[in-house]
């Protein structure tokens, strides 16, 4: 009798992991295709998961969440996207044109939500903002529209600026329109522009050598490589005594001089609304691409003091965040 009980118990124990796996598989899986690292991008994607929790989708209970980290290396994105497809993710959430394109190439059936894309139409991510078509939708960054405003702020801060360095990862389809925009506007303003080619993390050191005695300030374009290595960029800029203008407040919190742009946290939070609608039956083709609604100007006064820059009171008065 004891032997029978033992065999029954053993059989139940062996079957238990299978049952658990089957139960987990029944939950919708949200795949997070992250261009960077937990340190560089984790807080933004956590905002998506938090929003889903508020909408009733709780990680581990009603949904599964799978992270894939590219660590700033764009060449890893296709492999990571294919892995999420193999897992049969119900929705893939990502940001940036390069990552979205990798996801699109990996699947034509799984819905893809981009939390941030600079030029969704120009990058070929969607057919139109009102009716995206296909399996992709999300939120636009309006980077090209904001480039002029950023350059205007930088010139207000540094009226004597004559030479501008641009930091951006090379070959990123989503940021090329912004770079072209900045170059054109800087040219009209009579500024000399230096744009070194940056393909890998070690290229940042070479880039700063090219800025030495040739740039008065740096315009830093937000892309996966730059966002992943923002601490390195800020450290190199401080050593070179170069003021930097970024697009995300998070860069200013870790030493950049100034930023102006959309709130990435807000965009990734709103991406959770798209996932919720898709899980409840909506089709990405019918969900319009939304525009950013929250913009932030942040200034780091500690960095300004280190660089010997006096920030105009009019600029400080307009700042949403001033870091002392």
Kindly tell me if the per-residue pLDDT of 210 is higher than 50. yes
- Predicted confidence band of residue 4 (pLDDT cuts 50, 70, 90): very low
Residue 164 zone, left/alpha/beta (φ > 0; ψ -120 to 50; rest): beta
pLDDT in tens, 110-154: 999 999 988 888 888 999 999 999 999 999 986 667 888 999 999
- Predicted confidence band of residue 21 (pLDDT cuts 50, 70, 90): very low
Distance CA 127, CA 130 (A): 9
Distance CA 157, CA 1 (A): 86
Q: What pLDDT score was predicted for residue 144? A: 63
Distance CA 147, CA 158 (A): 16
Q: What pLDDT score was predicted for residue 162? A: 96
Q: What pLDDT score was predicted for residue 1? A: 40
The mean-pLDDT minimum among 11-15, 53-57, 209-213, 241-245 falls in: 11-15
Residue 288 vs residue 73, higher pLDDT? 288
Sheet holding 244-246, edge to edge: 192-194, 163-167, 217-220, 244-246, 258-262, 295-300, 321-323
Q: What pLDDT score was predicted for residue 143? A: 64
Q: What pLDDT score was predicted for residue 321? A: 95
Q: What pLDDT score was predicted for residue 6? A: 37
- Answer yes or no: are the C-beta atoms of 111 and 278 closer than 8 Å: yes
Domains and CATH numbers, the chain: 2-141+264-293 (3.40.50.2300), 143-263+296-323 (3.40.50.2300)
Q: What pLDDT score was predicted for residue 224? A: 86
3-state DSSP helix/strand/coil % of the chain, to nearest 5: 50, 20, 35
User: Model-level pTM?
Assistant: 0.81
Residue 108 in tokens:
């034509």
Residue 297 in tokens:
């100007």
The stretch 162-180 carries a mean pLDDT of 88
**DSSP for 105-130, written as a single string:** HH-SSS-EEEEEES-TTTTTS-S-SS
Kindly tell me if the per-residue pLDDT of 294 is higher than 50. yes
Residue 99 in tokens:
């990552």
Kindly tell me if the per-residue pLDDT of 177 is higher than 90. no
Task: Tell me the average pLDDT of the chain.
Answer: 90
Q: What pLDDT score was predicted for residue 123? A: 83
């Amino acid at each position: 009798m004891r032997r029978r009980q033992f065999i029954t118990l053993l059989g139940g124990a062996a079957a238990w992991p299978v049952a658990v796996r089957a139960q987990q598989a029944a939950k919708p899986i949200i795949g997070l295709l992250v261009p960077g690292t937990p340190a560089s991008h984790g807080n933004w994607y956590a905002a998506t998961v938090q929003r889903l929790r508020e909408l009733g989708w709780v990680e581990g209970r009603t949904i599964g969440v799978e992270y894939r980290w590219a660590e700033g290396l764009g060449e890893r994105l296709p492999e990571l996207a294919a892995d999420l497809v193999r897992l049969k993710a119900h929705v893939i959430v990502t940001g940036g044109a390069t990552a979205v394109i990798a996801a699109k190439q990996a699947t034509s059936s799984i819905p893809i939500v981009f939390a941030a894309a600079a030029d969704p139409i120009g990058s070929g991510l969607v057919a139109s903002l009102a009716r995206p078509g296909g399996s992709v939708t999300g939120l636009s960054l309006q980077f090209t529209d904001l480039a002029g405003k950023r350059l205007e702020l930088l010139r207000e801060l540094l009226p004597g600026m004559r030479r501008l360095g641009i930091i951006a990862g090379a070959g990123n389809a989503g940021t090329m329109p912004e770079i072209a925009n900045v170059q054109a506007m800087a040219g009209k303003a009579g500024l000399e522009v230096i744009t070194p080619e940056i393909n890998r993390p070690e290229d940042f050191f070479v880039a700063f050598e090219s800025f030495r005695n040739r740039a008065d300030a740096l315009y830093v374009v937000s892309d996966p490589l730059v966002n992943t290595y923002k601490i390195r960029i800020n450290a190199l800029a401080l050593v070179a005594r170069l003021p930097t203008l970024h697009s995300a407040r998070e860069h200013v919190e870790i030493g950049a001089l100034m930023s102006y742009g959309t709130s990435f946290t807000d965009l990734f939070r709103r991406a959770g609304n798209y996932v919720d609608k898709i899980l409840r039956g909506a089709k990405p083709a019918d969900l319009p691409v939304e525009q950013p609604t929250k913009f932030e100007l942040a200034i780091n006064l500690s960095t300004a003091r280190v660089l010997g820059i006096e920030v105009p009171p009019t600029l400080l008065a307009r700042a949403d965040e001033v870091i002392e």
